[in-house]
Amino acid sequence: MTEETTTEETAVNGKVGEIIETIGALTVLELAELVKALEDKFGVSAAAPVMMAAAGGGEEAPPVKDTFDVVLTGIGEKKIQVIKVVREITSLGLKEAKALVDEAPKAVKEGASKDEAEEIQNRLQDAGATVELK
């Protein structure tokens, strides 16, 4: 058997055979209108499932970020208060905490959970610092 199959080779009888012959006699525009009418009538789509899956893959939501870096961007007027809060958060010594504050913008905490990052941000802002979550 070749790749070409005709209605005689498939041996379809009755109503289905008549429908196939009728469809075979339609023009392309008439076929497009038929497809649209069938989609509307039965509430289905003539799109191939493979194409729908491929299109759906591109519309995925971006992944939710679950770790944040708390970055000290400015120290404000209360440098000593900011150094104290940085020491509490990081357990650094006075010299290291002062160096971190002086080197702003600098990460105070990396890989923190959202709640922890927001708490650190609030504590630093209360001390007068400017903070970003990244």
Q: Considering the domain boundaries, does residue 103 fall inside one?
A: yes
The answer to whether residue 17 scores a pLDDT higher than 80 is yes
As a residue count, the chain comes to 134
User: Does 54 or 11 have the greater pLDDT score?
Assistant: 11
SS (H, E, C) the chain: CCCCCCHHHHCCCHHHHHHHHHHHCCCHHHHHHHHHHHHHHHCCCCCCHHHHHHHHHCCCCCCCCCCEEEEEEECCCCHHHHHHHHHHHHCCCHHHHHHHHHCCCEEEEEEECHHHHHHHHHHHHHCCCEEEEC
Q: What residue numbers bound the domain in which 15 lies?
A: 11-57
Q: Considering the domain boundaries, does residue 1 fall inside one?
A: no
Q: What is the pLDDT of residue 62?
A: 64
Same domain, 74 and 125: yes
Q: What is the pLDDT of residue 119?
A: 92
Q: Considering the domain boundaries, does residue 6 fall inside one?
A: no
User: What is the chain's mean pLDDT, rounded?
Assistant: 80
pTM of the model: 0.51
Q: For the chain, how many structural domains are there in total?
A: 2
The answer to whether residue 4 scores a pLDDT higher than 60 is no
Q: Considering the domain boundaries, does residue 38 fall inside one?
A: yes
Which CATH number goes with the domain that contains 75? Answer: 3.30.1390.10
Structure confidence by residue, pLDDT tens digits, 57-99? 555 556 777 788 889 998 888 889 999 999 998 888 999 999 9
